[in-house]
Amino acid sequence: VGMYIPGGTAPLFSTVLMLGVPSKVAGCPVRVLCTPAAKDGKVNAEVLYAASVCGIRDVFKVGGAQAVAAMAYGTESIPSVDKIFGPGNSYVTTAKQMVSVDSVAIDMPAGPSEVMVMADATASPVFVASDLLSQAEHGRDSQAMLLCTDASFADEVLAEVERQSSLLPRGEFIGSSLQGSRAIVFDDKADMLAFADCYAPEHLIIAMEDAESIAEKVLCAGSVFIGNYSPESAGDYASGTNHTLPTSGWARSYSGVGLDSFMRQMTLQKLSREGLMGLSGTIIDMAEAEGLEAHAQAVKLRTAGLEPVQGGKSFRLESIVRPNILTLSPYSTARDEYQGPLGIFLDANENPFENGFNRYPDPHQKELKARISAIKDIPVENLFIGNGSDEAIDLVFRVFCVPGRDNVLAIDPSYGM
């Protein structure tokens, strides 16, 4: 995996931890870190220290879109990786999206930072202003959004933003960021929530009286902060969630980084002979319906002639039969002399296996069905022969009737069952 750590105006060593810790827990064998150097040509000391704490040894002084390209395609010194992680400016984000359709996977589009605060009269204008400023100071292209239910409250927040920003050292970035930020007043909380889901913010702070119930209705956000004492700063550093999150509306389709982001899933399957026989009808039907005969043939060839099974017993299949009532798997105690189809209809106890099902098997029922078929011009597979009407009635109910759903009308005289 490759990790991009912004290091221009604010070297984010916390992002090293957010990416380095889960990648180490996941056991990624190769971990490459790229970060831009400062004007003096050196990498921020805190970034290097955080990398060492996470056991990352391959650190390269390169930033911007060129760092993404280096990790995607490899250079003489930087190895290519399978997946690239980390936030960045719009150039870095665009570069990640470009290489993701060519050679590598990415965690998500994670561009300029953004925060949205949903507030009502129970919120503190001081707290809300501080939350807006904590994102505005990230960079000139960051965005802070306030959604509230009262215009006077919005005015109080804006006044507090102006007061607090005058005391902060990164005023240049804050001023540019606030030029693209907005405060919007809604008459209806439902409309406010709908707008938030449409915007799909990277960080969503809910400073409202019924914050938890509103949070349950949120569909699209990178990370949600509930209540007046859950500042976005806690998620950035210490509350335990990951701060690498989707931006620019991508929270509608992407999730934030977690341990799973550094792992892959693959499925495994092993079928026994009996297991494949049990699935053969479904596989063949579906393959033939899709016109993929080779798929069906791969199953037919395996089930058309079986080798000896446990105990030295063996049997052969004359044809692939997919009965329309019930099919059971073959048992290892199959009779040596059995030469018929594997399908078990259970009518007339048609069961070739010594497994306790056939209490009184009829050795002539196949011949009987063949003769009835010829006389009545009815396909053999549409004939049902029972050892007494009670067995026929019982099996019909068991196969076709669902308890609690179906009703049965019995007309006298009939059987008590």
The catalytic residue positions are 202-203
What is the rounded CA–CA span in Å between residue 70 and residue 61? 11
CB 129 within 8 A of CB 136: no
Task: State whether residue 310 is helix, strand or coil.
Answer: helix
- Pair 408, 417: CB distance under 8 Å: no
Strands 203-207 and 114-119: parallel
Give the 3-state secondary structure of residue 60.
Answer: strand
| Distance in angstroms (rounded) separating the CA atoms of residues 134 and 348 | 79
Q: Give the residue among 150, 227, 132 at the shortest CA–CA distance from 188.
A: 150
**Residue 215: DSSP 8-state:** H
Say how far apart CA 97 and CA 104 lie, in whole Å.
10
Residue pair 256/246 in contact (Cβ under 8 Å)? The answer is yes
Of the candidates 4, 7, 37, the residue with the CA atom closest to the CA atom of residue 19: 4
DSSP alpha helices (H): ranges in 248-319?
A: 273-289, 293-303
φ and ψ at residue 146, rounded to 5 degrees: -115, 125
Helices (H), 143-253: 151-165, 171-179, 189-199, 211-215, 232-237
Query: Which amino acid is located at 145 in the chain?
Result: M
The whole-angstrom separation of Cα 155 and Cα 174 is 18
- What is the crossing angle of helices 125-136 and 171-179, to 10°? 100
Ramachandran assignment for 346, one of left (phi > 0), alpha (psi -120 to 50 degrees), beta (any other): left
Residue 223 to residue 70: CA distance in whole angstroms: 30
Number of alpha carbons in the 13 Å side-chain half-sphere of residue 356: 0
Instruction: Please give the Cα distance from 258 to 392 (Å, whole number).
Output: 58
Asked if 245 contacts 222 with a C-beta cutoff of 8 angstroms, the reply is: yes
